[in-house]
Amino acid sequence: MTASHPMKPASVAFRFIGQFNRADVITKWVDSLRLSNIEIENQIEQAWRQARSRPGVKLFDGPLCRLERFSAGKTLELELSRTSYKIFWGTNLTHPDLADRFGPEVLANPVGLSCALQSSDGYLMLGRRNVSLAYYPLRVHPFAGSLEPAERVDVFANMERELSEELSLTAEDISQIVCVGMIEDLSLRQPELIFSVRSNQSRARIEQTLDAGEHDVCVAIEPKEDKLLEALNDPALTPVALGTGLLWGRGLFGAEWFDAANRAVNLGRHEPH
């Protein structure tokens, strides 16, 4: 396939693409370099108060891992510091423009985790986020979460935990899990690790075990070039879902398909609220 479509304004950027198994990923705690001043902290507090006043929205100021630096070669090395959801909300989610004024160091930049979950019968499984979620409500998104602090941070264990919570998948239900890249939602300016996950469970079984706490329904995409391109042009997809679908297609159809599809389906910037 050749690239015959004009490049559209990007909603997602690919920071690296690769194949990293559990033993290939190294995490290290470092001091935080996040820039802070009174104006920034006041913005964060105001945004948090406004968000907490919204009826029916789930918010919890939990601890997160800030990405300070990364290196992707034979191994994937992640240097992390501590941040929180409140800081994420007040910077990346509601005031990413602070980075234009003060520099990118002002952002919380927590590491997100998403997966291209493939059922045993070959479907890419995504979920439609429910209305109670604080950002991207009612949009189609991968099964995902955030990297949480621990003495030794295991990105694979965090991804497996999310699959357990959202779909009741156990270790026995997962036949393969590989980190295949890092993308950035350009609206939020947030880094997101993407995993390729193959399940022993069928599409029907995964749909049956969906936890309604975050997603209303599963969205299944057939493993065919035309069906995937059609799905990736759906504006209901979040930027992370778009990037995840493109990486899944790259694994199925090759790098040439990926390059052409990336030019064809980037849909422009998305508002998270």
pLDDT at 57: 75
* 27-36, 48-57, 88-97, 196-205: range with lowest mean pLDDT: 48-57
Binned at pLDDT 50, 70 and 90, residue 257 comes out as very high
pLDDT at 256: 96
Q: Are 147 and 64 in contact (CB under 8 A)?
A: yes
State the pairing for strand pair 112-118/63-72: unpaired
Q: What is the pLDDT of residues 166-191, one digit of tens each?
A: 999 999 999 999 999 999 999 999 99
**Rounded CA gap, 269 and 253, in Å?**
26
Q: Are 128 and 139 in contact (CB under 8 A)?
A: yes
Residue 196 φ/ψ, nearest 5 degrees? -95, 120
Q: Are 241 and 188 in contact (CB under 8 A)?
A: no
| DSSP notation for 196-253 | EEEESS-HHHHHHT--TTTEEEEEEE-SSHHHHHHHHT-TTB-HHHHHHHHHHHHHHH
Q: What is the pLDDT of residues 1-29, one digit of tens each?
A: 333 333 345 689 999 999 999 999 999 99
State the pairing for strand pair 25-29/76-84: parallel
Ordered structural domains, the chain, with CATH:
12-265 (3.90.79.10)
- For the segment 120-147, the average pLDDT, to the nearest whole number, is 94
pLDDT at 133: 85
